[in-house]
Amino acid sequence: MLVVGSDILQKAHKEGYGVGAFNFVNFEMLNAIFEAADEASSPLIIQASEGAIKYMGIDMVVGMAKIMSNRYSHIPVALHLDHGTTFESCQKAIEAGFTSVMIDASHHPFEENLELTAKVVEAAHKEGVSVEAELGRLMGIEDNISVDEKDAVLVNPKEAEIFVRESKVDYLAPAIGTSHGAFKFKGEPKLDFKRLQEVKRLTNIPLVLHGASAIPDYVRESFLNSGGDLKGSKGVPFEFLQESIKGGINKVNTDTDLRIAFMAEVRRVANEDKTQFDLRKFFTPGMQAIKKVVLERMHLLGSANKIS
Ligand code: PGH
Ligand code: CA
Ligand code: ZN
């Protein structure tokens, strides 16, 4: 059943657990994610970026999401627009049937971000759709970074308080030192948990962690064993994910882990049988690999067995 994003995240916020928000670009990713949610009895957020929408067509994105949510009608599922860049993009998603949208104007000055977010919130709430916004920039933080530099890229808790109050946004992504992709930290992994706790205290709404892929050892191994290269890659350690949930994160955006797990299997099969050209022989193990990652993550984040 497709539900409003806030239905899922308000419960997670009150009970103090995290819900994985998993990106998909095709049937295979979506199918694997749903199978995992079914096995874990977990609520679910599935999300499509503007790039994914361009790739599949918005009717296909919404159509597949609805079919899968009917197939697994006991699972509460929200369909979320990941990193919407404009009011129009959010508007289109709302009209097409998304139940949650992100307006990402965090690279604009505070006032502009606030103004645009408030405008999206007004339009979305009219249709019963919830909204996510972002404050700060997604960037790794290092030990030798100065306090001033940190303040320039990471979320400012006082600003977050004002932003949430004035925009009436439903959930907020505060930049605390993560980044997208497979190369998150140059040195030791580092996140600003203090800042996160302060944002939670001052806003008291569901918070979102972007760039939350962990690149677990066995996923890295499978990618390397298949002949892939992940030199210099580093994800968010599991302990950090748990710590961030304690600090108030409720939506945990995960894409890279699924891509790596899937592609490792596709390459393995391609290497093992050069005569193979049945797509299903590549994609079936790919789906199993994603399912395993998602299932584990749901248990780690605490959303398993939270369907009531
Ligand atoms: C993400 C995904 N999507 O919005 O934040 O992050 O690259 O760590 O999976 P990863
Ligand atoms: Ca951003
Ligand atoms: Zn993101």
C-alpha to C-alpha distance for 294 and 40, rounded to whole angstroms: 9
Alpha helices in the chain (DSSP H): 5-15, 27-40, 50-56, 58-71, 87-96, 110-126, 147-153, 157-167, 193-203, 217-225, 238-246, 256-272, 279-301
**34 domain-assigned:** yes
Q: Both tokens of residue 306?
A: 């939270």
Q: In this structure, what CATH number is given to the domain that contains residue 249?
A: 3.20.20.70
Question: What total of structural domains would you count in the chain?
Answer: 1
**41 domain-assigned:** yes
Q: Mind telling me the catalytic residues? A: 82
**307 domain-assigned:** no
Q: CB of 51 closer than 6 A to ligand 1?
A: no
Parent domain of 272: 5-301
C-alpha to C-alpha distance for 213 and 124, rounded to whole angstroms: 28
Q: CB of 212 closer than 6 A to ligand 1?
A: yes
How high is the pLDDT of residue 271? 98
Q: Which of 22, 23, 258 to mutate to test the pocket of ligand 1 (most atoms within 8 A of CB)?
A: 23
Q: Which of 167, 142, 172, 168 is nearest to 157 (CA)?
A: 172
How high is the pLDDT of residue 140? 73
Nearest C-alpha to atom 6 of ligand 1 is from which residue?
211
Tell me the CA distances in angstroms from 138 to 62, 141, 211, one per residue in order. Answer: 28, 10, 8
How high is the pLDDT of residue 117? 98
Q: Could you tell me the sign of the dihedral formed by the alpha carbons of 273, 276, 279, 284, in that order? A: negative
**306 domain-assigned:** no
* Confidence (pTM): 0.97
Q: CB of 92 closer than 6 A to ligand 1?
A: no
- Ligand 3 is an ion; residues with CB less than 5 A from it: 210, 253
How high is the pLDDT of residue 147? 78
**218 domain-assigned:** yes
C-alpha to C-alpha distance for 283 and 69, rounded to whole angstroms: 21
**203 domain-assigned:** yes
How high is the pLDDT of residue 191? 96
**247 domain-assigned:** yes
What is the whole-number distance in angstroms between the Cα of residue 139 and the centre of ligand 2?
Answer: 10
What is the whole-number distance in angstroms between the Cα of residue 122 and the centre of ligand 2?
Answer: 20
What is the whole-number distance in angstroms between the Cα of residue 180 and the centre of ligand 1?
Answer: 5
C-alpha to C-alpha distance for 264 and 31, rounded to whole angstroms: 18
**308 domain-assigned:** no
Q: CB of 253 closer than 6 A to ligand 1?
A: yes
What is the whole-number distance in angstroms between the Cα of residue 22 and the centre of ligand 1?
Answer: 9
pLDDT mean for each 10 residues of the chain (308 residues): 96 98 98 98 98 98 98 98 98 98 97 98 98 91 76 93 98 97 94 97 98 98 98 96 98 98 98 98 98 98 95
Q: CB of 251 closer than 6 A to ligand 1?
A: no
Q: CB of 181 closer than 6 A to ligand 1?
A: yes
8 A C-beta contact, residue 184 and residue 234: yes
